Amino acid sequence: MKFETERLILREPRMDDWKDVVEALNDIEVSKYLMKVPHPFTKKDAVSWIKKNIDKWKKKDKEDYSFFIELKSEKKVIGGLKLDVDKHNLIGHTGSWINKKYWKSGYITEAKIALNDWIFNTLKLRKLESGAALENIASNIMQKKMGYKYEGRRIKKFVAKSTGKIHDENMYGLLKEDWKKISAKLKEHTKEKIKKLESKK
């Protein structure tokens, strides 16, 4: 399974992606707010993690989806998106990461727009939930930009494996009806941002 956007391909993980994954996740600036990513992050960690996700994709009744974000122009994996599905309640929980070299270029927004469309239109979920460490300013801003609404804070919710630090987590929710209201405008804004970024190259 894969989706294509203007600059990206969202696809299933492959074993030969390990070098790109290590490059991204071995950066403490990327891993410091991720619960399960150790530091240093090695080839062994990447291979093990990729293998687990490949095995999950083989299951017919999936409740766990991991997509890699491939940058078309470089044919390189620059990030990832994760979706856990609660089928009974029709709710999904999402998470993301991206190589620091590609921050502030709109790639996560572009990827999440495609993923959200698929989640609401194909999987027919009624709500998405997402968390962000209190200190992760960029992630908190991203949630609001994508139309998520703040629903509360979980005190001392998780320990980041890379640092051992305990973090409070802000929780956000996005209803299907709210996504329908904001998605067209968000897509147009993203197209304009891409044009500006491309014109500077």
Q: How sure is the predictor about 9, in pLDDT bands with cuts at 50, 70 and 90?
A: very high
Assign a CATH topology to domain 2-199.
Answer: Aminopeptidase (3.40.630)
Q: Is the pLDDT of residue 182 over 90?
A: yes
- According to the model, what pLDDT value does residue 197 have? 85
The residues spanned by each domain of the chain are 2-199
Query: Taking the CA of residue 184 as centre, how many other CA atoms within 13 Å lie in the half-sphere pointing to its CB?
Result: 3
- Residues 28-70 have pLDDT tens digits of 999 999 999 999 999 999 999 999 999 999 988 889 999 999 9
- Residues 119-129 have pLDDT tens digits of 999 999 999 99
Whose structure tokens read 């999987």?
123
d(CA 63, CA 55): 13
Q: Is the pLDDT of residue 117 over 90?
A: yes
Sign of the CA dihedral running 22, 28, 30, 34:
positive
d(CA 134, CA 154): 9
CA-based nearest residue to 66, from 100, 159, 106, 77: 77
Mean pLDDT for 5-25 is 97
- According to the model, what pLDDT value does residue 184 have? 95
- According to the model, what pLDDT value does residue 3 have? 93
